[in-house]
Amino acid sequence: MTSEIKAYEGSLSAKGLRFGLVCARFNDFFVSKLLGGAVDCLLRHGAAAKDIESAWVPGSYEIPLVAQRLAASGRYDAVIALGVVIQGSTAHANYVNAEVSKGLAQVSLASGIPVIYGVVTTENIEQAIERSGCKAGNRGATAAESAIEMADLMRKLPEAK
């Protein structure tokens, strides 16, 4: 029976956990809403305001480098990346998206710290509105929830040898 085996799971209690948020200024109109949703979620799950810090970068493309610095600092239990990439008439957004997702995955694996992908990628402004606190929820809040669960899970898992 599966109930007899040990299962590691992260809880949704953020008490005593520390979070570093990296926010892209590009499309700040939406990113500030994601940040608000993330911070609200962390606080309501028990994190202390003093344990939540943010760093701002020019655009989403710059997020991975700063996420790497935060993850390597040893100061945080999880890093949360927040940005909004909206498709334009050129392929620019595609290049940004590819680098951010790949970069964040690399940072997380190399540092051993959860790095949560809270970057909204949309085809248009309406979709960005929907994901920044309207009918599709707030992607910052859901990213924060994932960060709490992963941070707690990493504390519970066996140490690497």
Question: CA–CA separation, 76 vs 79, rounded Å?
Answer: 7
Q: How far is the CB of 54 from ligand INI (least distance, A)?
A: 15
Q: Which candidate, 5, 7, 4, places its Cα nearest to that of 157?
A: 7
Site residues (CB under 6 A) for ligand INI, limited to 107-146? none
Identity of the residue, 2 or 89, whose beta carbon is nearer to ligand INI in the bound complex: 89
10, 153 contact by CB (below 8 A): yes
Which of 92, 102, 155, 156 does the annotation list as catalytic?
92
Stretch that binds ligand INI, among 43-51, 56-64, 110-118, 131-139 (CB under 6 A): 56-64
Here's the x/- map for ligand INI, 71-110, by CB under 6 A: it reads as ------------xxxx-x---xx--x--------------
Q: Which two tokens stand for residue 113?
A: 């710290």
State the alpha helices, DSSP H only, in the chain: 28-44, 63-72, 92-111, 125-131, 139-156
Number of residues lying near ligand INI (CB under 6 A): 16
Residue 132: what are its φ and ψ, rounded to 5°? -110, 30
Beta carbon nearer to ligand INI, 17 or 100: 100
Helix axes 139-156, 28-44, angle to 10 degrees: 40
Q: How far is the CB of 25 from ligand INI (least distance, A)?
A: 8
45 included as an active-site residue: no
The residue ranges that bind ligand INI (CB under 6 A) are: 24, 26-27, 58-62, 83-86, 88, 92-93, 96
